[in-house]
Structure 1
Amino acid sequence: MSQAESLDKISLRYGNDLIDWDLSGDVVLFDVRDPKSRCDPERFFLQAGQAIDSARPDLSRVGIVVADKTRLCNYPIYLPRLMEAFEKRGIDSGRIRFFIAYSTHARQSDAESFVAYGEVYRRFTFIHHDGSNPDSFALLGETSRKIPVLMRKDLLECTFVLTFGAISHHYFAGYGGGRKLIFPGLGFREAVYLNHALFLDRAEKRLAPGCRPGVLDGNPLAEDLEEHEAFFQAHMAIHGILDRNGKVCELIFGAGPSDFRKACAEHARNCELPDGKRYSWVLASCGGHPRDINFIQSHKAIQNASLFVEDGGTLVALARCRDGVGSSTFLPYFSMEGFAGAFERLSMRYEGNGGTALSMMTKTARIRIIMITDLDEKTCRIIGVKKVSHNQALRYIQNRKGAMAVLPNAGLLVRVPKGPVHGIRSKDR
């Protein structure tokens, strides 16, 4: 699918900055394709009104579920127009409440929330989800994998629930956005951990091979999420399709699993490549902020980029991690006598970002990872990566032998086992 191309210079995103690279030798550039822009605020306002009218919902109590700062969807631009569509139909601010789908992420500050959602954050009620209090949830049943389906009581009180968020790949759930805004986004913490524990193949003592980005069928974790949705489904979903810069290019209205899958396929069309040749050297950027806001988010890009690296090869990753690791439960798993010890602990009680720790261990056992990052050197040593400066990384790359793959948007570009080609090479852009 690719061939060596001449690429002498490139700028790669690092947080909100760009780092310039002078490259030499054979370089193969792999990147995503930006979707055509089919969305603007006025068109969205009209579409939202038509969708609401077609659904003929009971708008007595409206609940709108949005993502947190790690998964933005141009909210300051489009939420005001959505509110106008409701207001035009006689729905005042007192009948609308927003739920921020943190899942197990840390709560944002008011300042961060204002940046994420704009003026709407000051005008409407926003509920910052906390999944730790069992009294806030009602039991609806359990999935076939014996995972309880617990829903926020105040969400169940809403007569109309709308989810609004960007579709993305997820490194073990297949895809993010859509139904994931409700669960695990608004889930009870222990139930979220039980679902995430499906990432573990306990019989083989390994990570479940079906749990990978771009895979829904045969992915036990994704299949469990679909069962959750059967108990409680949003009345309407707005799925955002973004370009590499995080700009919304299309907003797809729908509801239920079928429409979610269609939105995932639209996202995949621009971001997937079939598995292929692996390289001894790979230079990868997460794609900048917010994809490298912390290590937990950056790991998704590192996982994607690792699939381009041959066994024993080297990945040079740009991951600023402005907010540090992004989890208090991640690092302790690296002091449990390696993969086997951490796996055993998680098998007994899955908690926090343990699956991410295991996933990272599998990569550092197979390849060398060099990272340009704001993380301190001690943290880098714990997770098994070497922290370097830009100049040090450049010397490594210039002294390499053989071809090197370059991934400017590793947080978006996903290799899948087989199927249609959705990603593109630079010369096809």
Structure 2
Amino acid sequence: MISKIPYGNTELTLELPDEQVSGVLNSNIGNLQNDQTEDDIVKAAMAKHLGSASLKELAKDKKTAVIIISDHTRPVPSKHIIPFMLEEMREGNPDIDITLLVATGFHRGTTPDELVSKLGQKIVDEEKIAVHDSSNADENVKIGVLPSGADLIINRLAAEADLLVSEGFIEPHFFAGFSGGRKSVLPGVSDRVTVLGNHCSKFIASPYARTGILENNPIHTDMKSAAKQAGLQYIVNVIIDEEKRVVMAFAGDPFIAHEAGCEFLKQYCRVKAVPADIVITGNGGAPLDQNMYQCVKSMTAAEASAGDDGVIILCAECLDGTGGDGFYRAMRDCESARALFENIMTIPQNQTQPDQWEYQILARILSKHTVLYVTRPEMKDIVTEMKMTYAPDLDTAVKMAKEIKGENASFTVIPNGIAVIVEQ
């Protein structure tokens, strides 16, 4: 059996004996065919505007508007979305004052070059663009309290806009259930206080805070409330294929359109877990595998098929390093992954630490599984410091895994771990 694992802007080739492969878990999004262009798909969705007035109607009589846009860590094809949102808003109100607000959440700020890559030079040159900073208290304002009890503090531009709308894309998410929709507000343009409260250890540990689950998910409940309190009125969310091309779009009411998109996506992403001794996965290639922080997502897909003590092989380029200093230091400085996990579970909501959710999930996985990390040589020491094992290439990782689980060990392959919902 030969499989291709996305890795940066290329792929790694995996060859295994057929008799040792228990299963290959792939999203079926590649089977979704659409004869329209990416632009036409988006425009058709906006013409339907599910559950809401059109963007043109919403823009009438409004003085100011904010479009929340994705940041550099998300493969949202903004060039196929933002121009049409701008065009329709100005068709309804030529004088409306529009700001593009980059939803960085808890990530670093998006650079000028990354903005050009995402939006194109024309939009960067001609539009007002602000980059959200969750740590800048002067730029953020409290607008309410979340169901969890955490203060809801968001970017002042979003809070004070006459019209608040957003773009985004829908994919399975490892603790919010799905990305998109309400996530543009929380964590997208929320203050660190709000993000930390929402991402507390109790919520992350909930059995409902898992990939593909929205019902009873406490993290989703907070996020939905945040979007409502912020007054988010309209979204354009897309679904992309493995080549990151738009294959479907949903627009309109933030909750109706998002729910429709999630229900649509489920039928293409659900796969049944196939237990195996060794599970091999990737994080979707660039930009999704740009750092170790993001790659915890695909580990959760592998975790679901790795039994109680299976070996996980993760392939990720990690051009942007660890992706979070707190994330890195917590794993580096802990006595063991299990000790770190047990300590996190004692931390109350109002004492949640930056990146805690990410290293909580990684520590949970490492408490049960050996993780072999196929990445750039420059990352070798960091991988080791973070309680994982470095492998210079995929073939070497397979040999190392067999040394642990036996020469005749079984394999499950999940080429793109963030594209599937692995159900038990």
Same-fold status (TM-score > 0.5): yes
Q: How has the CA–CA distance of structure 1 residues 210 and 256 changed in structure 2, closer, same or farther, with 3 Å as cutoff?
A: same
Corresponding letter in the other structure for 1:83: L
Are 1:191 and 2:194 an aligned pair?
yes
Q: May I ask how many residue pairs the two structures share in their alignment?
A: 403
Corresponding letter in the other structure for 1:291: L
Are 1:200 and 2:207 an aligned pair?
no
Corresponding letter in the other structure for 1:65: I
> Secondary structure in 2 aligned to 1:411?
helix
For residues 169 and 177 of structure 2, the distance between their equivalents in structure 1, rounded to whole angstroms, comes to: 14
| Unpaired runs of at least 5, structure 2 | 49-53
**Residue-by-residue CA offset, 1:116-137 (whole Å, 9 max, x unaligned):** 1213122211100012233333
Are 1:392 and 2:396 an aligned pair?
yes
Structure 1 residue 91: deviation in Å? 2.5
> Secondary structure in 1 aligned to 2:69?
strand
> Secondary structure in 2 aligned to 1:288?
coil
Structure 1 residue 90: deviation in Å? 5.0
Matched ranges for 1:406-417 at <5 A? 406-417=413-424
Which residue is 1:10 aligned to?
3
> Secondary structure in 2 aligned to 1:19?
strand
Residues 336 and 342, structure 1, Cα contact 8 Å, conserved in 2: no
Which residue is 1:319 aligned to?
316
> Secondary structure in 2 aligned to 1:401?
coil
| Unpaired runs of at least 5, structure 1 | 1-6, 418-429
Matched ranges for 1:19-168 at <5 A? 19-26=12-19, 27=21, 28-34=23-29, 35-37=32-34, 40-42=38-40, 44-45=42-43, 48=46, 51-53=54-56, 55=58, 57-89=60-92, 91=94, 95-119=97-121, 120-168=123-171
Match of 2:247 among 223, 237, 249: 249
For residues 78 and 183 of structure 1, the distance between their equivalents in structure 2, rounded to whole angstroms, comes to: 21
Residues 42 and 80, structure 2, Cα contact 8 Å, conserved in 1: no
Structure 1 residue 104: deviation in Å? 0.9
Residues 346 and 354, structure 1, Cα contact 8 Å, conserved in 2: no
Match of 1:210 among 205, 208, 211: 208
For residues 149 and 114 of structure 1, the distance between their equivalents in structure 2, rounded to whole angstroms, comes to: 31
Match of 1:363 among 362, 365, 374: 365
**Residue-by-residue CA offset, 1:114-166 (whole Å, 9 max, x unaligned):** 11121312221110001223333332221232111223222233222211000
Structure 1 residue 19: deviation in Å? 1.6
What is the TM-score of this pair, normalised by structure 2? 0.88
Q: How has the CA–CA distance of structure 1 residues 52 and 12 changed in structure 2, closer, same or farther, with 3 Å as cutoff?
A: same
Which residue is 1:421 aligned to?
none
Structure 1 residue 323: deviation in Å? 0.2
For residues 209 and 45 of structure 2, the distance between their equivalents in structure 1, rounded to whole angstroms, comes to: 35
Structure 1 residue 83: deviation in Å? 2.7
For residues 319 and 159 of structure 1, the distance between their equivalents in structure 2, rounded to whole angstroms, comes to: 42
**Residue-by-residue CA offset, 1:336-394 (whole Å, 9 max, x unaligned):** 44222344457662121112112111111211111101252222122221111224124
Structure 1 residue 278: deviation in Å? 1.0
For residues 266 and 370 of structure 2, the distance between their equivalents in structure 1, rounded to whole angstroms, comes to: 28
Which residue is 1:277 aligned to?
274
**Residue-by-residue CA offset, 1:60-95 (whole Å, 9 max, x unaligned):** 212101111111221123322333333444526x72
Residues 305 and 412, structure 2, Cα contact 8 Å, conserved in 1: yes
Residues 77 and 246, structure 2, Cα contact 8 Å, conserved in 1: yes
Residues 360 and 383, structure 1, Cα contact 8 Å, conserved in 2: no
Corresponding letter in the other structure for 1:29: V
Q: How has the CA–CA distance of structure 1 residues 261 and 281 changed in structure 2, closer, same or farther, with 3 Å as cutoff?
A: same
Structure 1 residue 397: deviation in Å? 6.3
Residues 75 and 116, structure 1, Cα contact 8 Å, conserved in 2: yes
Q: How has the CA–CA distance of structure 1 residues 46 and 404 changed in structure 2, closer, same or farther, with 3 Å as cutoff?
A: closer
Residues 100 and 126, structure 1, Cα contact 8 Å, conserved in 2: yes
What is the TM-score of this pair, normalised by structure 1? 0.87
> Secondary structure in 2 aligned to 1:210?
coil
